Amino acid sequence: MNSLTDSGALYDRLIVDRARTPLHAGRLEQADAQGEGKNPLCGDKTRVDVQMADTHISQIRHQTRGCAICLAAADLMAERVTGLTVPQAQDLSRRFSAMLVNEPASTPDTNTNTPALGPLEAFAPLRAHRARIRCAELPWVALKEALSHVDV
Amino acid sequence: MSMASTQDKVRQDLDVAAIRQQFPILSQKVHDRPLVFLDSAASAQKPEAVIEAMAHTMRCQYANIHRGLYWMSERTTEAYEAVRDQVARFLNAHSREEIVFTRNSTEAINLVAHSFGALLKPGQAVVISEMEHHANLIPWQMLRDRAGIELRVAPITDAGDIDLDALQGLLADGKVALVAMTHMSNVLGTVTPAKTIADMAHAAGAQVLFDGSQSVVHRKTDVQALGADFYTFTGHKLYGPTGIGVLWARKELLEAMPPFMGGGDMISTVTFEKSTWANVPHKFEAGTPAIIETIGLGAAISWVEAIGFEAIGAHEAALTVHALTRLADVPGLKIVGQPKERGGVISFTMDDVHPHDIATLLDRNGIAVRAGHHCAEPLMRRLGLTATARASFGIYTLPEEIDTLADTLVRIRNFFV
Ligand SMILES: Cc1ncc(COP(=O)(O)O)c(C=O)c1O
């Protein structure tokens, strides 16, 4: 029999590993802002704690209960936005969403200040799984809420 | 029982290969794999006979009903009303006037909540159970908030059966006007002891409604033998089309209830000052109904009855035994609920693998199952879960498809754990 995921490639090794062993899970005692995301359809839940250093995000921790896609998305998001300014993180969030709904060619990278998606590109195959896109976006919903409480 | 013997048992009861030939969709491929469709409890696939009956109506014999004074309208009216007779026989109703066509089960229950609900007084109560589909929960919550009635919830046991002693307790003060309960759980597969529940309700002076959405598909339904007062089902789970459902209710109840929606077809006389209502069941069928879908439902019922519930029941019971046997061998897999009597619906979890991940990976292998809370959030909470995966079976399900499911689940688990 063929391998379990061949044509899908959705469950990239990186995603499975981060779902199983997240590197940025937990809480921040000294969080400057917090945000929550909930998906009433499946009960998935994530909570994001953000700590700022001047204008930059210095640390992020998440507490996530959900599927592998949601868990890995939270963990890789935390990794990717650490060190970014709030506008940069918001730009990245938009770019991440665009990647999930658009074909790659139609996502113009005009803003050179936006950091690259990097490992977040592992989620690109979600395009073919519309019903699961919200799983990957849930942590970003929580981050957006957290960043809306940050005044810089 | 060994795997081979439970497989053979399935084969004896029904010529499944011949039945599958009648479902064009079952020869489709998904992600380059043969489709293994294990989500009939959400909606069943449609046989050629249903597709053809609907297409034939649109091609050859279609006009609006109950109003045209011309040949084509009269023929269409006859075809539509003939399905009412058919449904009356299908449920063993006392008369055709007791059959109300709705959009689905959800609308049928909303109709009862609205129109029977209008007869209730503050202080009276409605009892549901912990394992209701939202369709048999939300309409009663809305009625509670609108009419000041009380909503009581009968608990289930850990095995997934209605706790009859607790139900007895809820009925004791004589305030309950209606017990509204599922006849078969879409999550646990539990078949509820409808006759017992009806007797208990009646002894306490209450009416009883059964949500037959899941149940009618698998067994012969006799509303008189069950002692029901209301019964609902939905066409699309019974191999029929979407957009057509049925409310059966005792005629005296329908006659006492005010209309649900107003409009054309449901009236007797209309003036600007006052209007009067048509007789039942037309009082409850406002506007142009789902004519084509109703005719499709008639074709579905004929098709199911030609196979017969004895063969269907035996086939599905054997499939369920085979599935329980095979799934028990999947490491880390837990079947949710061990009800006394179950239909062909099995919910499960597998270690920490999230049901959504299970469903997506099964889908990559051509296998369609449902994952989530199955429109029964309070039940999930009762079970201490947020979601389950669910496999459900139909007339066309093969034992080999269950084997494919079990084998693929083992590989999914190895992938994650
Ligand atoms: C037990 C039960 N009740 C009610 C419904 C609602 O059916 P429908 O959506 O066709 O109204 C369903 C189907 O999802 C069900 O399984």
- Domains, in order of start, for chain B: 3-43+308-416 (3.90.1150.10), 51-305 (3.40.640.10)
Looking at the partner chain, which of B373, B407, B408 has a beta carbon nearest the beta carbon of A43? B373
Look at A16 and B415 and tell me if their CB atoms are within 8 Å. Answer: yes
Closest by CA position to B183, among listed B155, B157, B213: B213
Nearest-CA residue for atom 14 of ligand 1: B42
Q: What percentage of chain B reaches a pLDDT higher than 90?
A: 92
Q: B49 vs B14, which has greater pLDDT?
A: B49
* Ligand 1 pocket, residues with Cβ under 6 angstroms: B 104-106, 133, 135-136, 182, 186, 211, 213-214, 234, 236, 375
pLDDT at position B76: 96
- In B63-107, where do the E strands start and end? 99-102
Query: B97-155, pLDDT tens digit by residue?
Result: 999 999 999 999 999 999 999 999 999 999 999 999 999 999 999 999 999 999 999 99
Residues contacting residue B341 through CB under 8 Å, at least 6 positions apart: B190, B191, B193
Span from the CA of B247 to the centroid of ligand 1 (angstroms): 13
Retrieve residue A110's tokens. 């005009």
Q: What is the mean pLDDT of residues B282-310?
A: 97
Nearest-CA residue for atom 16 of ligand 1: B186
Look at A66 and B354 and tell me if their CB atoms are within 8 Å. Answer: yes
In this prediction, residue B235 has a pLDDT band, given cuts at 50, 70 and 90, of: very high
Architecture of the structural domain at A2-148:
Alpha-Beta Complex (3.90)
Looking at the partner chain, which of A5, A6, A135 has a beta carbon nearest the beta carbon of B356? A135
Query: B393-416, pLDDT tens digit by residue?
Result: 999 999 999 999 999 999 999 988
Average predicted confidence (pLDDT) for chain A: 87
How many residues can be counted in chain B?
A: 417
Cβ neighbours of B357 in A, within 8 Å: 11, 67-69
Residue B270, amino acid: V
Average predicted confidence (pLDDT) for chain B: 95
Among B187, B209, B234, residue to substitute to test ligand 1 (most atoms within 8 Å of Cβ): B234
pLDDT at position B11: 53
- Which residue, chain included where needed, has tokens 């995966």? B389
Whether B375 sits among the annotated catalytic residues: the reply is yes
Question: Of residues B42, B307, B375, B385, which has the active-site annotation?
Answer: B375
pLDDT at position B55: 98
Regions of chain A where pLDDT drops below 50:
1-2, 7, 106
Question: Strand, coil or helix: what is B254?
Answer: helix
CA–CA separation, A136 and A37 (whole Å): 11
For B60, list phi and psi in degrees, rounded to 5. -125, -25
Closest chain A CA to residue B356: A67
Cβ neighbours of A65 in B, within 8 Å: 386
Pairing of strands B99-102, B125-129: unpaired
By mean pLDDT, which of B16-30, B182-196, B263-277, B292-306 is the weakest?
B263-277
Query: B379-388, pLDDT tens digit by residue?
Result: 999 999 989 9
pLDDT at position B125: 98
pLDDT at position A4: 66
pLDDT at position A106: 47
Looking at the partner chain, which of A8, A68, A129 has a beta carbon nearest the beta carbon of B354? A68
Question: Given CA atoms B396, B400, B402, B408 in this order, what sign does their dihedral have?
Answer: negative
pLDDT at position A109: 54
Query: B243-263, pLDDT tens digit by residue?
Result: 999 999 999 999 999 999 999
pLDDT at position B416: 86
pLDDT at position A44: 87
By mean pLDDT, which of A41-50, B174-183, B203-212 is the weakest?
A41-50
Retrieve residue B195's tokens. 């006759």
